[in-house]
Amino acid sequence: MRIPFIAGNWKMNLSLEDALDFIDSIKKDLPDSNVTETAIAASPLFLQSIIDHKKDSQLKIIAENCFYKDDGAYTGEVSPKVLSEIGTDYVIIGHSERRKYFNETNDIINKKVHAVLRNNMNPIICCDETMGRLQSENKIHWVVNQVNASLKGVSAEDAKNIIIAYEPSWAIGTGTSASNDDAQEGCYLIRQTLADIYSDEIADEIRILYGGSVNYKNVTSLMEQRDIDGVLAGKSSIDSNDFIKLVNYKKNQNK
Ligand code: 13P
């Protein structure tokens, strides 16, 4: 069974003080992790403090990026080994903002995926699909290449520990989410690709998220889609009240 995964990605927002206040204010209102797994992706500057602060809560912690080497002369980089040491659960790899602003290629992303797995954390691999491509070819298929490339050399056993996120850059930060159908199509295509690489059984176990202007109002209909197992929310994860409504979407459904 794929447990829903609802995560916030703060990106380069919030001060340390705001971040700790946020964690304090959501701790007691999180759903049971057997029902919905919840997580926050934060700057490496905050991770240790957040991990200390969230003690005893079921909140999982995500790093927004890491390097592909564990240690060495790589000035300014974030070591996956140290992320693991401090208790980080997940690492986002290949976010479209990293691909766009930091020239991350599929090859680099593949190396990072291996680094995260090697250090006993779980990668959340992001796949993008540009609107230009979608409009010109009238179908979503770029994600197939990205999934194939990012999982090169990853064993079936390790693949069970990954999460994949379908995050079309044309929906990120715009306030307008992909339609339920487009989001489902992207996630479906990713699951088919996983089945081709591994097997139907493994593809069935891997959680696939949608990201791009998700909020507490549209999360329920997105989560109703067959291949969407969770969401990665940017802007709507910055306010703790919005985040609490987002992660408790199941409760709100019954009201
Ligand atoms: P927005 O929710 O602000 O569109 O950001 C989505 C995102 O990039 C999550 O990783």
Q: Whole-angstrom Cα distance, residue 156 to residue 84?
A: 22
Known catalytic residue at 95: yes
SS3 content of the chain, % helix, strand, coil (to 5): 45, 15, 40
Q: Whole-angstrom Cα distance, residue 67 to residue 58?
A: 27
Q: What is the CATH number of the domain that holds 246?
A: 3.20.20.70
Contact 169, 130 (CB under 8 A): yes
Q: How far is the CA of 202 from the centre of ligand 1 (A)?
A: 27
Q: Determine what percent of the chain is predicted with pLDDT higher than 90.
A: 88
Q: How far is the CA of 73 from the centre of ligand 1 (A)?
A: 32
Give me the pLDDT at residue 140, please.
60
Q: How far is the CA of 177 from the centre of ligand 1 (A)?
A: 10
* CB of 231 closer than 6 angstroms to any ligand 1 atom: no
Q: Whole-angstrom Cα distance, residue 223 to residue 20?
A: 28
Q: Look-up: residue for tokens 């591994």?
A: 198
**Which residues make Cβ contacts (< 8 Å) with residue 81, sequence separation at least 6?**
70, 71, 119
Contact 237, 8 (CB under 8 A): yes
Known catalytic residue at 129: no
First to last CA, the chain: 25
- Positive or negative torsion for Cα 170, 172, 176, 177: positive
On the question of pLDDT at 65 being above 90, the answer is yes
* CB of 98 closer than 6 angstroms to any ligand 1 atom: no
3-state secondary structure of 54: coil
On the question of pLDDT at 216 being above 70, the answer is yes
Number of structural domains in the chain: 1
Q: CA 101, 97, 39 angle in degrees (round to 5)?
A: 145
Mutate which of 97, 167, 219, 239 for ligand 1? The one with the most ligand atoms within 8 Å of its CB, which is 167
Residue 108: half-sphere exposure toward Cβ, Cα within 13 Å: 12
Give me the pLDDT at residue 117, please.
98
Each residue's pLDDT tens digit, 121-151: 999 999 987 665 666 665 666 788 899 999 9
Give me the pLDDT at residue 142, please.
74
Whole-number average pLDDT of the chain: 94
Token representation of residue 44: 């490496």
* CB of 99 closer than 6 angstroms to any ligand 1 atom: no
Q: Determine what percent of the chain is predicted with pLDDT higher than 70.
A: 94
On the question of pLDDT at 254 being above 60, the answer is no
Give me the pLDDT at residue 252, please.
65
On the question of pLDDT at 43 being above 90, the answer is yes
Give me the pLDDT at residue 1, please.
86
Of 64, 95, 97, 129, the active-site residue reads 95
* CB of 9 closer than 6 angstroms to any ligand 1 atom: yes
Token representation of residue 204: 């069935």
Give me the pLDDT at residue 96, please.
94
Q: Give the residue numbers spanning the domain of 133.
A: 5-252
- Report CA 123 to chain centroid distance, whole Å: 8
Each residue's pLDDT tens digit, 74-104: 999 999 999 999 999 999 999 999 999 999 9
Token representation of residue 163: 């999460």
**Which residues make Cβ contacts (< 8 Å) with residue 157, sequence separation at least 6?**
none
Give me the pLDDT at residue 251, please.
83
Each residue's pLDDT tens digit, 173-202: 999 999 999 999 999 999 999 999 999 999
pTM value? 0.95
Q: Look-up: residue for tokens 């380069």?
A: 12
Each residue's pLDDT tens digit, 4-34: 999 999 999 999 999 999 999 999 999 999 9
Can you tell me which atom of ligand 1 is nearest the CA of 92? 10
